[in-house]
């Protein structure tokens, strides 16, 4: 088990806090605002003081801070016996608070101040059951409904109860077990707990307690349900979205039929809403025949007003203290000072705590920012952090004295020009946003205003995104424990060697699944890079633990492909895999749905049909979504409902910009598969005018090697004519046809024949775009390629070359000469033919067409005004600032200007584009370890030229200088006539005298100033560079 790092010793401060809370119920502690530090503080209270036996309420700023604190607590207490932790004011939390159990309740101030049902009401809705207790099954069901439980056919999720024969099953909030109560007439014969895992272990108990499920429900229900005027009929009842609609008095009604009838429930719900008998979040009183007919409701308004008055009069709402007057309150400054601030920390404690403001790796993950600088050409648009949008005009060299320096030349509006040193390459980013942006002026302040507005709005946007993330991560999900035997068996049955990226992603997913918070991971990989195998491993792992898996695909063709792949891969397991799509008849679909609800299907694979209202799961554990962007708005809303407490794994081959937006914001975890499968070859790409002879030749060459061909023709209405034309051109070739408007059975028949090699050439539409994987198809011909988008062409090209055989993609265009965007698209496709070039394709597509509204309307304007690269930097910075609780600069300002030659010589790397990428990549590194790693990679190829050694030296000084509070490291002549130069460190704050004394030990000639420290370069000697670096390290 991974051990947390050694914590700073603040045991005396913890003891002081504990002592204060012995004498006071509420204290406010002045601590750093960082949630990580606050979480550490709480963890030490839990571990080392008697407060771990108390009920503690800790108030936080918002859900984002709450999530950070909880994550930190889990990190620091991972090897300790944990006390119960409640992140919300659920009924489980209230029960622990009421009973004064040892627990930690972490709430926002708004949550803590909310009005609650009275303690008496809460206790009245708590159900205590004992063996041999006199109680009817009907009365227990009524009490469960009053307490917020829903009646369903089976009880598999929290808050659900079911009844069959003499048995009532209840799945409560407090336990992951099902409580089974067996009745003998009106006596409880036995009470058992049943585990919900695949073992289904049963244990008999003498008594149990069932706490209310919903606070809102018991509040409204305790005042809105009148037993004397309504009747409870559990066998004929159905739950409306917020409660139960009681049954009818009609003796002809069939209770059993109504339980299974969605239509009957809908009719009753509509009648209840129309009659005004729908209590908010509560129970709807029963019908008593003709008297309560909605159509006969002349006194409805009066009755409604009387009910409201009665409810208002009877309502008794309290705050948290009534449940437990002894609960201990801890608040961290800077919240409103309701209580006296206790000075519990010494200066030494504060220094130790401050070191935790850089959190542990598993607490605050750093998101890798993408670089769009690749393939930067003269004439491309760039954006400078300080000066705005310019045109890149190449690299220039200038000789100053005996030193050659290299610069990026940036041209602005009205012929303004800026020469940016290559050592400051991090300030420049390729502009992606609008195909024709307006250039800024160097002398204008408009750019500063644009950037400030974008920064402020991005901070608000980041907070919204993080709140969304926090709310999801604060909910609970099923835990799938590690099972090495299952994991090893799945790996052994894989016919290919896993790539390193696949191994990493699979391991990460296994780690996600064993957490009690819902996984929401995005796996991004180019077409054919093995994302499906990752999904199979995750699905099998969850299903073999006894939970169901839903795999959603955007097309029926891909659904069938997945069915074949999953079934073949999992044939050695007992898992039942089934499909649900329009390929099946209504009877077949209904049979699948029934088996799914009964738990007879482990993995269901289908289109958006899975999201229909009539599809119910017994115990859904994982949702796999293939290419989520292909689903519509309504389908995504249904997905949201499904995913609330399930693990979610999303697969995509579209890496930007939405994916990057989600990854940088931290709303979703992202894993990248960038390594191609072993033996995979780049697809040979040919672009030329339409030529029938070349088409015939390409098809014949593929057939000679016993392969098959996709012929993409996207005009469905004339596709049969194109098939006829090809048949006349190649009479001996077997040709089939496939498009989305064909009958389902015909589509399935054509795909099956093609898969079984009974068809040589398949004339098809873009229906093959997503996921169709046939290794024997290695030639693609696209007729009139100019009518397709760049990313779409790349996706379609990925349908071939899935094996070790060389594949060929022919892109024919109908014009004599390519022009405009069409030319750019096809040229980009030809240039990006290497494996794993999806990122380059997507970037080129955005450069040609602009970013569009993919990030939402509110962010679209900012992306256009400052560019996608800079926008993502702002977003990343805002996320880190919110998570850490401390202000953060996107790029800390520091300049380094020393009399040394620091550049990449042309003889070392002749390719100008690669030199630009190297400058940019190294300049963005923000740690000495990362910089040394980059340098070591170069050293592995041989000794480095001195200018490159100097380049790494300057980049290292920038990293150290930022941490040491230095704003500039430069030189100046001692006088106008003197050849001697000072090396000057310009600092943000005066240097501490004790620190300066340590600098004098390195070089005794340093001269002290309030805002700068300087020394003559000659006084430091020949090794002045080493002494300068050592002196800066002293300032850290």
pLDDT tens digits along 418-475: 999 999 999 999 898 888 889 999 988 889 888 888 888 888 887 877 777 777 777 7
In the predicted structure, residue 29 carries a pLDDT above the cut 80: no
Higher per-residue pLDDT: 1003 or 84: 1003
484-673: CATH homologous superfamily? P-loop containing nucleotide triphosphate hydrolases (3.40.50.300)
- Would you state the pLDDT for residue 566? 93
- Would you state the pLDDT for residue 744? 78
pLDDT mean across residues, the chain: 79
- Would you state the pLDDT for residue 118? 85
Which among 3-7, 282-286, 454-458 has the top mean pLDDT?
Answer: 454-458
Compute the average pLDDT of residues 934-947: 92
Compute the average pLDDT of residues 514-526: 85
Q: Which fold does the domain 965-1034 belong to in CATH?
A: Alpha-Beta Plaits (3.30.70)
Which among 263-272, 318-327, 681-690 has the top mean pLDDT?
Answer: 681-690
Residues 6 or more apart whose CB falls under 8 angstroms from that of 911 comprise none
* Token reading at 500: 């390193």
Compute the average pLDDT of residues 855-862: 60
- Would you state the pLDDT for residue 300? 39
SS3 708: strand
What is the separation of C-alpha 451 from the centre of its chain, rounded to a whole number of angstroms? 27
pLDDT digits (tens, 9 = 90+) for 784-824: 888 888 878 888 888 888 778 899 999 998 876 666 777 77
* Token reading at 920: 């940019």
- Would you state the pLDDT for residue 389? 94
Compute the average pLDDT of residues 94-117: 86
Shared fold status for 484-673 and 684-834: yes
pLDDT category at 505 given cuts 50, 70, 90 is very high
Where along the chain do its domains lie?
11-114+321-357, 120-314, 484-673, 684-834, 965-1034
In the predicted structure, residue 288 carries a pLDDT above the cut 70: no
pLDDT category at 84 given cuts 50, 70, 90 is confident
**CATH architecture, domain 11-114+321-357:** 3-Layer(aba) Sandwich (3.40)
State whether the Cα torsion 401-406-409-410 is positive or negative: negative
Give CATH for domain 684-834: 3.40.50.300
Higher per-residue pLDDT: 175 or 920: 920
- Cα(32)–Cα(425) distance, rounded to whole angstroms? 34
Compute the average pLDDT of residues 996-1023: 93
Q: Strands 428-430, 381-384: parallel, antiparallel or unpaired by DSSP?
A: antiparallel
Task: Please state, in angstroms and as integers, the Cα–Cα distance from residue 794 to each residue in 716, 851, 964, following that order.
Answer: 21, 18, 47
- Cα(866)–Cα(836) distance, rounded to whole angstroms? 28
Diameter over CA atoms, the chain = 113
pLDDT category at 227 given cuts 50, 70, 90 is very low
**Of the ranges 48-57, 120-129, 652-661, which one carries the lowest mean pLDDT score?**
652-661
Q: Which fold does the domain 120-314 belong to in CATH?
A: Penicillin-binding protein 1b fold (3.30.2060)
Which residue from 538, 554, 569, 540 is spatially nearest to 648, judged by alpha carbons?
538
Residue-by-residue DSSP string for 617-674:
-SSEEEEEEESGGGS-HHHHHHHHHHTTSSEEEEEES--SSHHHHHHHHTSSEEEEE-
How many helices (H) and strands (E) in the chain? 33, 41
Measured distance between the N- and C-terminal CA atoms of the chain, rounded to whole angstroms:
33
- Would you state the pLDDT for residue 18? 73
pLDDT category at 140 given cuts 50, 70, 90 is very high
């Amino acid at each position: 088990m991974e051990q947390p790092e050694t914590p700073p010793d603040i045991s005396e401060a913890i003891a002081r806090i504990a002592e204060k809370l012995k004498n006071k119920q509420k204290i406010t502690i002045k601590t750093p605002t960082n949630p990580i530090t606050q979480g550490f503080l709480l963890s030490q209270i839990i571990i080392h003081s008697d407060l771990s036996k108390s009920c503690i309420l800790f108030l936080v700023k918002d859900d984002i801070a709450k999530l950070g604190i909880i994550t930190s607590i889990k990190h620091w207490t991972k090897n300790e016996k944990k006390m119960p932790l409640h992140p919300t004011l659920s009924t489980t939390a209230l029960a622990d608070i009421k009973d004064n159990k040892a627990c930690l309740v972490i709430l926002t101030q708004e949550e803590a101040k909310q009005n609650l049902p009275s303690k008496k009401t809460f206790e009245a809705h708590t159900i205590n059951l004992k063996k041999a207790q006199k109680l009817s099954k009907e009365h227990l069901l009524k009490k469960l409904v009053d307490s917020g439980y829903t009646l369903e056919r089976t009880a598999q999720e929290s808050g659900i109860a079911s009844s069959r024969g003499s048995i009532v099953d209840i799945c409560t909030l407090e336990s992951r077990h099902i409580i089974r109560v067996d009745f003998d007439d009106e006596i409880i014969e036995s009470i058992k707990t049943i585990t919900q895992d695949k073992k289904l272990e049963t244990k008999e108990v003498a008594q149990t307690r069932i706490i209310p499920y919903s606070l809102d429900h018991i509040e409204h229900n305790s005042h809105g349900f009148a037993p004397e005027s309504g009747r409870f009929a559990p066998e004929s009842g159905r739950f409306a979205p917020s409660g139960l609609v009681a049954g009818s008095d009609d003796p002809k009604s069939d209770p059993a039929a109504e339980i299974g009838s969605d239509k009957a429930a809908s009719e009753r719900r509509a009648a209840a809403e129309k009659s005004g008998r729908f209590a908010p979040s509560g129970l709807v009183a029963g019908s008593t025949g003709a008297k309560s007919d909605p159509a006969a409701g002349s006194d409805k308004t009066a009755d409604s007003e009387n009910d409201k008055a009665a409810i208002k009069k009877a309502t008794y709402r309290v705050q948290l203290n009534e449940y437990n007057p002894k609960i201990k309150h801890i608040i961290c400054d800077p919240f409103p000072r309701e209580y006296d601030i206790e000075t519990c920390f010494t200066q030494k404690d504060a220094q130790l705590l401050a070191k935790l403001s850089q959190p542990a790796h598993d607490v605050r993950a750093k998101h890798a920012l993408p670089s769009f600088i690749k393939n930067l050409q003269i004439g491309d648009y760039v954006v400078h952090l300080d000066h705005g949008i310019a045109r890149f005009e190449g690299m220039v060299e200038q000789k100053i004295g005996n030193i050659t320096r290299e610069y990026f030349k940036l041209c602005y509006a009205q012929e303004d020009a800026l020469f940016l040193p290559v050592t400051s390459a991090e300030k420049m980013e390729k502009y992606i946003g609008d195909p024709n942006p307006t250039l800024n002026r160097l002398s204008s302040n408009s750019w500063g205003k644009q950037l400030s507005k974008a920064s402020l709005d991005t901070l608000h946007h980041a907070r919204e995104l993080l709140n969304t993330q926090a709310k999801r991560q604060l909910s609970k999900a099923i835990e799938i424990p590690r099972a090495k035997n299952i994991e090893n068996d799945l790996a052994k049955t894989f016919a290919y060697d896993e790539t390193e990226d696949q191994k990493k992603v699979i391991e990460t997913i296994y780690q996600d699944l064993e957490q009690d918070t819902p996984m929401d991971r995005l796996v991004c990989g180019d077409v054919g890079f093995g994302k499906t195998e990752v999904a199979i491993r995750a699905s099998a792992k969850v299903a073999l633990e006894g939970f169901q898996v839903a795999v959603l695909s955007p097309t029926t063709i891909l659904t069938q492909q997945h069915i074949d792949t999953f079934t073949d891969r999992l044939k050695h397991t007992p898992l039942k895999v089934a499909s649900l799509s329009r390929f099946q008849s209504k009877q077949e679909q209904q049979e699948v749905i029934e088996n799914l609800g009964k738990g007879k299907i482990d993995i269901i694979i289908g289109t958006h049909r899975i999201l229909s209202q009539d599809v119910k799961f017994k115990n859904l554990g994982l949702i796999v979504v293939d290419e989520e962007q292909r689903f519509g708005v309504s389908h995504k809303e249904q997905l949201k409902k499904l995913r609330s407490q399930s693990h979610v794994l999303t697969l995509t081959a579209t890496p930007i910009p939405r994916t990057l937006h989600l990854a940088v914001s931290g709303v979703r975890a992202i894993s990248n598969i960038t390594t191609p499968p072993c033996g995979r070859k780049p697809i040979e790409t040919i672009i030329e005018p339409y030529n029938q002879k070349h088409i015939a030749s390409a098809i014949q060459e593929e057939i000679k090697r016993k392969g098959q061909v996709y012929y993409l023709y996207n005009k469905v209405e004339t596709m049969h004519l194109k098939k006829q034309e090809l048949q006349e051109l190649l009479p001996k070739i077997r040709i089939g046809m496939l498009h989305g408007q064909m009958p389902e059975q015909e589509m399935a028949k054509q795909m099956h024949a093609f898969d079984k090699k009974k068809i040589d050439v398949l004339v098809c539409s873009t229906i093959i775009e997503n996921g169709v994987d046939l290794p024997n198809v290695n030639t693609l011909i696209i007729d009139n390629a100019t009518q397709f988008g760049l990313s779409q062409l790349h996706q379609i090209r990925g349908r071939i070359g899935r094996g070790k055989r060389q594949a060929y993609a022919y892109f024919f265009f109908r014009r004599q000469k390519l022009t405009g965007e069409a030319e750019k698209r096809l040229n980009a496709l030809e240039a990006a033919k290497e494996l794993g070039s999806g990122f380059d394709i997507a970037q080129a597509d955005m450069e040609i067409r602009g970013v569009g509204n993919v990030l939402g309307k509110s962010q679209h304007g900012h992306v256009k005004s400052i560019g996608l690269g800079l926008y993502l930097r702002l977003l990343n910075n805002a996320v880190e600032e919110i998570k850490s609780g401390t202000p953060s600069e996107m790029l800390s300002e520091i300049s380094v200007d020393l009399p040394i030659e620091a550049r990449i010589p042309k003889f070392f790397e002749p390719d100008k584009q690669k030199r630009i990428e190297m400058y940019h990549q190294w300049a963005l590194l923000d740690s000495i370890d990362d910089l040394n790693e980059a340098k070591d990679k170069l050293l592995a190829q041989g000794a480095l030229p001195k200018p490159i050694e100097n380049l790494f030296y300057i980049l290292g000084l920038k990293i150290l200088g930022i941490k040491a509070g230095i704003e500039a490291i430069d030189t100046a002549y001692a006088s106008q006539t003197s050849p001697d130069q000072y090396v000057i460190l310009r600092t943000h704050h005066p240097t501490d005298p004790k620190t300066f004394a340590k600098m004098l030990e390195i070089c005794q000639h340093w001269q002290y100033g309030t805002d700068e420290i300087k020394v003559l370069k000659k006084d430091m000697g020949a090794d002045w560079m080493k002494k300068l670096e050592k002196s800066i390290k002293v300032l850290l």
